[in-house]
Structure 1
């Protein structure tokens, strides 16, 4: 029975034969480098692409074999002053190779060094120049985080590994700090990403949807409409093409004008995107961004602990000084009271001596007498006495009744 199907290998052979027939020899092709990596074995692997108005329209693998890689890479770097890198558009001389096992690959035999920068890099430079001209590049740098930045608005895809890593690392921090994290979902790659991220910014703070010529007074109080201390844009890595959206002018301008500090963790180790340049601060990975906020809160916690310690020590020193001053005053008061008592005791002793000295009984015992009239009134003078007046004369051992004779 005749087969009504092809084996996969047979189909691949047909495709290979068709490719070899259609492109039998070397051909010059213009393409933009989406990614490039030179392996330890010396071979240089690339992903080439072409972009249209709505995004990438073609992609293909390419390779420069070890026998030519060093020479071609050196040739390009010497002529342009820059290495062969993503974003650069180059005219390559290639041989089309189709493998039944590995598919289509372009084998590079030479390159035209006159094409030093690709359209993406040109657009990137134009965007940077425009942002610099509009004084937007450093606008976010003027914003300052609060002392305890714990209310965080995160823009990311909900299923992104980077967001999961960030949330886990942040909320399970060793200090036990609590953070209020709210996710604002957005598309994080492709042509729709810039508008999606801008829409998320609008949900975080509607008043921040500013026009092209609007400016934010970064030194004024943060808008009362903001319930967040910072905005975090998390991507968690990807290819150069996937991350090209972070060089979009509209997105970068929206980030620059946003009145709340914006932090980026796009997660690309090799490239710095314009969104990183206009952000308040950029780090490479979401976990590094989590560490940044944990560190900020830890620093403030340490400062508060230090202030509390200094306050306790200050209070102890004040109490100790007050106790010492009180002890000194008590000693002075005690000495003063003791001195006063001694003086008064001496006065009392002197008074007692005087009382004892001038005691009438003592005077009588010394030979003096007291003369009174019958009513007991003490007579101090003979003036006024007349014959016949009765007198009482008191001696120490008794009283004698007398009559004045003349």
Structure 2
């Protein structure tokens, strides 16, 4: 029966055909063994094995890498040219004879375009780009693959600043490619969001080393891009490529080509802020010195003015004293008598200043400027 099934397949598909599929798994044992799947709205609807024999493998692998920058990996959508075979012991398989890399590139570009259109339609595509990039960095989150070379490049620039207490990065890990990348990246952004809620972040930095177009395509996950676009702090990307776009690059506040350049952006901002702080300090010290000089000059001016005012008051007081002295001297008894006045005294010599003090028949003495005369008061 199995031999008959093989004959039916051979007669029904006498030559190679083009097959679209998604690679579910890859096993490398000199030959490449692929698990292919086709998915529909309700999930997986078909599955089969495919083999790239060693005689075709190296030529097809080189062709695919030249176009995409990477090899065949799980999760890629591919267009394969192959022969349908059936073996009594190993079952059905597709012997791959050729591959169309442009189909895989087209699928990645299609995902990018669809994601971009969705974010624009939702009104969130430009939200993070509208945020102001920090003029200084203190506390920021860094999302990267575990122990990635790009992370090492980034930390070579940032670690000295952290040791000096100038910056305080928080490092988060995520898977950046493969079937589990989307969920891992979303969890990473959620962790950064929780950090921001506990204490505001200056930025979220998303980095990974250089990669193929097919590797970068994993970043075009729509929920992940939406989370970056709506992140409440500026997003900085350094995803290891210069020519190819990804949704994270497009929605980020600032895009750099590599993790090292992302670190350089932070270092430049910190150095510029430190230089500005030094300049501000010099300005403050110069202003303070000027204020002290002005204050000293003002003090001398105030003291001189006070001295002049005091001297004027002393002169005025002296003039007033002189006037009073002159007035007092002008009122001496001798001068008063000389002006025609007389001094009235009782018999005992006491001065009489009021008529009520005089009694009838009392002997009074009148003192004039040129002598004394006695009179008796008329009752």
Give the TM-score, by structure 1 length: 0.59
CA separation in 2, counterparts of 1:295 and 1:282? 15
What is the aligned counterpart of 1:131 among 116, 127, 131? 116
Partner of residue 297, structure 1: 270
Query: SS at 1:264's partner residue?
Result: strand
Partner of residue 189, structure 1: 177
Paired residues of 2:69 and 2:211 also in contact (CA < 8 A): no
Query: SS at 1:134's partner residue?
Result: helix
Partner of residue 179, structure 1: 167
Alpha-carbon spacing, 1:371–1:245, altered in 2? closer, same or farther (3 Å): same
CA separation in 1, counterparts of 2:351 and 2:298? 60
Aligned-pair CA distance for 1:137? 3.6
What is the aligned counterpart of 2:261 among 288, 296, 300? 288
What is the aligned counterpart of 1:170 among 152, 155, 158? 158
Which has the larger helix fraction?
2
Partner of residue 103, structure 2: 118
| Cα shift readout 1:3-59 (whole Å, capped 9, x = no counterpart) | xxxxxxxxx9xxxxxx99x88xxxx989964336xxxxxxxxx9785567x3388xx
Alpha-carbon spacing, 1:382–1:186, altered in 2? closer, same or farther (3 Å): closer
What is the aligned counterpart of 1:336 among 293, 309, 312? 309
| Structure 2 residue 250 is matched with structure 1 residue 277 | yes
CA separation in 2, counterparts of 1:338 and 1:381? 46
CA separation in 2, counterparts of 1:376 and 1:56? 143
| Cα shift readout 1:340-391 (whole Å, capped 9, x = no counterpart) | 3212211211221232233225667999874411344435799978767153
Number of aligned positions between the proteins? 305
Aligned-pair CA distance for 1:172? 0.9
What is the aligned counterpart of 1:264 among 225, 237, 249? 237
Give the TM-score, by structure 2 length: 0.62
Paired residues of 2:235 and 2:254 also in contact (CA < 8 A): yes
**Which ranges of structure 1 fall in alignment gaps of 5 or more residues?**
1-11, 13-18, 37-45, 58-88, 92-114, 208-222
| Cα shift readout 1:257-282 (whole Å, capped 9, x = no counterpart) | 33332221122345343322222212
**Which ranges of structure 2 fall in alignment gaps of 5 or more residues?**
1-29, 31-51, 82-99
Aligned-residue CA RMSD (Å): 4.6
CA separation in 2, counterparts of 1:251 and 1:380? 116
Aligned-pair CA distance for 1:141? 0.3
